[in-house]
Structure 1
Amino acid sequence: MNERQEQSNTILEAWDILLQYRWRFILPAFIIMSGVLVVGFVIPRKYKAIAQFERRTDMVMTEIGTKGATRSFQDPKSILTEELKGQPAIDELFKSIDPKLPKLGIPNSSSDMSMLRGNVIKKVNVRWDISTNTIDRVRVDYVDNNPQLATLVVNTLIENYIKRSREIMNGRLNQTAQFFKDEVAGNRKKIEEYENNVLEFEIKYSELLPENPNNIQTKITTLQETLTELISEREAARALTKALKQSIDTEPEIIPSTILGQNPEYTQLLDKQRKLRDQYTEFTSTLKMKSRHPDMIALKTELAAIKEQLNTTPSEIVIERQTQNNPKLSELEIRLTTAQGEYEALAGHTAAMEDQLKGLQLEANKIYEVRSAYRKLQRQVIETERQITFWEDNLRRVEMALAAESGNKGIQLMFLKPASIVSKPVSPNWLQLIIAAVGMGIFCGALNVFVSHRTNDSFNDGEQASSFCDLQLFGAVSEIISTQQRKVRKIRNIILYPTNAIIMGSILLSLSTLLYLDLEKPDLFKDLMHQANQYTAPQKAIADDSKRLNGQSNVQATTHDLTGDTKE
């Protein structure tokens, strides 16, 4: 509680001091704030020029970039910043803008040019708005006191980069295309040599080549396939014969047969049940008997008994029993005879084909040397064709890229948004100036109050004077105010102080508004100033005319006094 009370007392004491020296706080704060706002009108402005360009890879270039050929001419993103603001780019920039600098009011002295070069290197920023595999949108900005120079710098940097990139890309594409053309021509010669060797070999060993439809390997393959099918059919016939024999062994020669008919007892029970249900319906619907009636109870009992008898009585009974020959056995014997005949025929055909296959295999062992030599020639031709296909594919891709680049397709470098003349400055900032003015005004006012309070040697009450002078205090009068002084104070408190406050606030608000228009709405501020100049110009002309007329009348009056002439 004591600490809180001390804090409250300290705050109240500081508030009393502030009220006592309020005008020593308000006047310095107003002067400093007004000064800072006025200085804001003369601080040098800095303008930021922003330009955008786009590097886009369309579907043609995506198709081209599926293999590694185009990696030799695609620029990686990591060097884009160096290409835009590196030393070669800055040198090319100054070569381009050097003739235009005198028109912008920039001297061509060595010191000024070196300072400008340092500012460009330091203040040019490169940022990516979008960065994907197919599109890169890059933003370049530069801040300078001259808005025209800032615009010229960013636009020239991007234009030079686009021009340089296209030249480099076209050169790389042409070099790559020439290399691929040389490789294609060399491989075509090899293919011609290998094809001549293959043709000579085919003419010499035409009957032993695997491409000949009548060669031994083709016959062996055909016989093997046919033999495999015959063996499968033979085994299927053997399995069928075995299954039929087992079925015949299990089938009886004579089978019994029975003739079934309807059970008369079951029919009588159904008729009786139907009659009882009709009677039950008559009792319940016509006679309106209840379930507690003895006849109803007896009827229900009889229906339940008949239902049990129906459940236990079969609906059909055997009327006659007899025996006959099994027809399935005769059918199985016929199928067995047919299956045995097929099996014997397939076994003979299979044995003959196996003997023929062994003879062909003995003859096929003699052509392995010829076939290996032919395969070697074929592999050479295929490998050379694969190489020429690879080089032709790369050549096609590079030619597509070159054609696309020549037509501004493929990798497109587009100057998306050139920088325009900037009218709104980025520095100084209006909000920062307001904060600085308020902060400095409060600081100076508080410092003045502090100094005034610390240097004040007057006594606020009689107790302070008594304790300082070590005298006994019998009574004290703080101030004797006359009627005239009270009227003066009343006028001062009611009229003078509020008027001063309104004037100060109006001045600060006007300065803040003008500064806001100058920094945030420069076009509107210029229009307002132009209209004000147009409005004040006629007033100045009228004032000049009145002064001139007054001067002429004064001259005439002076002449009349000197000559003494009068006119009626």
Structure 2
Amino acid sequence: MTIQESSGTFDKYLQVLKRRWIPTLGIFVCVFIILQVATLFKKPYYLAEGKLKFQRINTTSSLTGVGTEMGKLEPLVDDKNNPLNTEAEVIRSVPVVKSTINKLNLKDNKSVNLKTKQFLQMLTVKEIKGADVLSISYKDKNPQLAAQVVNTLIDVYLEYNISAHRTQAATARKFIEKQLPNAELVVRQAEAELAGFKEKYKIVSLQEEATKALEVITSLQQQISEAQSRFADAEAQIQGIRKQLGMNSQQAVVMTSLSQTSGVQDILKEIQQLESQLAARRTVLQDNHPQIIDLQYKLQSLNGLLQQRIKNVVGTTSSQLNNNFQLGELQQQLSARLVELESNRLGLASQITTLSGLQTAYKQRLNNLPRLEQQQRQFERKVQAAQSTYSLLLQKLQESRIAENQNLGNASMISEAEVPEESISSPIFLYLSTGLLASLTALATVYVLEKIDKSIKTTEQAKELLKFTLLGIIPNFNNSNKSIIGNEEIEAYNKRLVVRDMPRSPINEAYRMLRSNLKFISADKELKVIVVTSSVPREGKSTVAANLAVTMAQMERKVLLVDADMRRPVQHKIWEVINNEGLSNLIVGQGEIRTAIKQVMDNLYVLTSGVTPPNPGSLLDSKKMAVLIQTLSIYYDFVIIDAPSLNVAADAVTLGQMADGVLFVVRPGVVDSVSASIAKELLEKSGQNVLGQVVNGVISQTERYNYYYSTEEKNLQETVEIGSRERLV
């Protein structure tokens, strides 16, 4: 809100107080007197005060290191909350208050046990800023009782505080005792799971096992490499010996076995001898010679015996073996070496296979170690967590048992209440409080009156509501304005023709300003005929029309004032003329213009309403009326028509269609906002040329700005003209 808006709002409130100053002052005085009288007969109150100090950590607990968390003053919701507020609410709680009431047997004025609500109304618990201290005060008409109440309340609270902390410790102990068996069971289960895991996978120390596995794998690899080297060397020697002997290892074994068997060798020797004899005999004898046949038969028998013995020795016949069953010494050595190398080769192959299998097994174990280690860590964490929880519960159980037997109160009295010597009823405070209450009551009354009163009260309200151009402001001079206009002029003012009878009055200047603004607003087209109307009766439209006519006539212009308000004609009373013949007579053709129109002063003529007809609206809406106005506008320089109010009849709307424009009169304090809004809507919907509005009967004390009320013509002219031009722009 800007400074100008704030100033405008203040001015509005000030104007309301100016308008309602009588009821405002009356209510203020009455309420103030009543409150002062009531205060004089009221017995004073005395205020006793005691103080409680709260410590962050309980002193007793800090000595043992146990129960420190129970003694801390910490908020439960967030850091912004002050824990002292919580303690203050505990002090004001029903159990503490009731215990205090019962101990002191407090009674009210009717000798009935004091209610908790009544006690709390007299009790005040507040925090002392910058310190962990609460101030507890109680007011009562009895000073001794006030001090006694405070001290008793503090004692009750301290007992409650200690009991609450002990209860907290006992509750914690019971809870821990209930949780311990479950925690112990969880530890055992976790340890059993870890032991089963180690037993299943034969785990002692995975880290050491991994190190040893790497060493074993490296050692096995070296052994495998050595065995493979020896295996290759043996294989090479075997191939060389095979080439020398012309047989494989199996054959060499068989031949060596046969060469070392005496039965086989003996038969071989006999066979060799027979073959020698047979060869010698064939040189001299025929093949069919009996000796040859006998030798052949013997040789055949020995060969059969040889085959039988060979089969007995090696399990096969000589047809499957080399026929050379007699080996030399070198061949026997080579055969033995071949057999030895073959045996070594087979041993090395078996060793390599065994070592490779061991290496593969160790590698698989080593590859599984990270997974096993992860699983082991999970089991160990589970065991550690269970053991930690169990150990913590054991520790807290011991602490809670100790804390339960300690005095864990975190509050102490630092100042007990003393009997007050002076009452809290200060005269200055009483005057200020009663004055404030009286002022608030008066302002509330003004507010209610303003809400009830729907009338337009100021020129500003009229401007804001109607949005018509402000052409003139006519002041209201009542008996309070005698110092301005003089006693001898009041009687003339009461006759309503102020412009004619008081030419030097400020109200005369206001009408002159209205005349100037009408001339200014019709600079392009001269106004000949205007209709003067209002929202409701008693707004002074007839007076405005009469004085405006006088002002126009004073400018040497021939002016005709027509009283078209046939329901409540006034102009003949204002001008003190006879109303036996007038407008209604001319419309129906029962009168003549020269006799109906009466000259009341220089350049000013009046056409009264005439005989009141049964249907004024029909007459005014007739063609004869339109012709009559047109005719009159020819003979007169300016025609002013005094039309009925818009809430009485729609005659002003009808006449407005025949005139050059409508002049709308508003009187603050008479017309309400609803009637004014309806009148405005009626004029706008009927397409009237509303020249502007004239605010009549303005009271200077109720206006926000001083639009008029200056004895100097220049100041009056500048003020009104500025207001009018603002609306025109």
Greater RCO (CA < 8 Å, at least 6 residues apart): 1
Q: Answer yes or no: same fold by TM over 0.5.
A: no
TM-score, normalising length from structure 2?
Answer: 0.29
Structure with more helix by fraction: 1
TM-score, normalising length from structure 1?
Answer: 0.36
Larger radius of gyration: 2
